[in-house]
Chain A
Amino acid sequence: MKEETQRITDQILVDAREDAKSIVVEARKSAEMMIEEQRELGRQKAAERVTSILRKAKDEADVARGMVFTSIRRKAGWMVLSEKEQMIRKILDEAKTRLTALTRTERYVSELERLIVDAGIALGGGELEVVLNEHDSNLPINVKAMSKAISEKTANKTELELSSKRIKASGGAVVRTADGRVILDNTFEDMLRRREGDLRLKIANILFGQTGRS
């Protein structure tokens, strides 16, 4: 009887321990599964944002690419334009230097007279005043002959008078009506300034074999 009882109690305890062990094993397995599910869930949840991040990055990359090309094209264009500008500027500066040098030659007197006559004609003749720079005021220009030439061209009796005032210019003259109301500035500086736009086009055309403003 005692042995039988011992067998039964042993079996009860063995069964209980096995059941307990199974419960724990099952719980651990379930815990592992839950952890893996949460890991996958975290990845899936992030996937939506990942798509958004990558799409945004691609858009930004496209924009950055466009900006790089735009910037380099602008830089390249600027390099070419800058080079052309330097060359055109060099020609204009050289022209000014040559015009200044012209004022030290014998030829200049006749050029200056022609300038004054052209200005007088443009003003329609009459009583006109000629303003020169300090150097040119000492040149032997023929005022009478110039007055006569303007009178003939305009059919208006013209009297040119040299002003005692002086201009600051490398050469050329300012011619104005006696009342000072109409002025024609034919100094080299003003002529170059007035015509710079046209001259630039012509210089560009000759230098680079092209038309269009540079």
Chain B
Amino acid sequence: MPTALHIIMDTEREAAKILDEAKVGTEKIKKEAEEKAQKIYTEAYEQTISEAERKASELKKTAKENAEREASTILQEAEKEIREIRDKARKNSSMALENVLREILSGL
């Protein structure tokens, strides 16, 4: 029949085993966490870069669209100038033609 001391010593061993198992468990948690942390680091890095690249692309697209919209007024002004040129030319073409003929014929 075991003595009280033996019983307590056995229990102490059992308790140590419980703690050892817990330590093994924590090692596993730590290892898994390290692996996951590396993955999370990479994901966070890549996601941040990807988001920045999306913003960069949007920035360029918007800038180009704005520039095209603003610059379209230049074309409108050119079209207006062309209309004015046509009006002037229509009024003055006879005079210009006569002038050319006079220039050429005066040289004859």
Q: Which residues of A are in contact with B by a Cβ distance under 8 Å?
A: 1-2, 4-5, 8-9, 12-13, 15-17, 19-21, 23-24, 26-28, 30-32, 34-35, 37-43, 45-47, 49-50, 53-54, 56-58, 60-62, 64-65, 68-69, 72-73, 75-77, 79-80, 83-84, 87, 90-92, 94-95, 98-99, 111-112, 114-115, 118, 172, 186, 188, 191-192, 195, 198-199, 202-203, 206-209
Contacts and interface: CB of A to CB of B under 8 A. Distances in A.
Contacts of B79: 79
B55 A54 contact: yes
Contacts of B19: 16, 19-20, 23
Contacts of B101: 95, 98-99
Interface of B is mostly: helix
Nearest to B49: A46
Given A72-B75, A206-B92, A192 B7 contact: no
Contact of B30 (A31, A41, A209): A31
Nearest to A59: B60
Nearest to B96: A206
B23 A23 contact: yes
Interface residues of B, number: 73
A191 B67 contact: no
The 6 closest A-B pairs by CB, nearest first: A42-B44, A31-B33, A20-B22, A57-B56, A16-B15, A61-B63
A72 to B, nearest CB: 4
B57 A202 contact: no
Interface in B46-95: 46, 48-49, 51-53, 55-57, 59-60, 62-64, 66-68, 70-72, 74-75, 77-79, 81-82, 85-86, 88-89, 92-93, 95
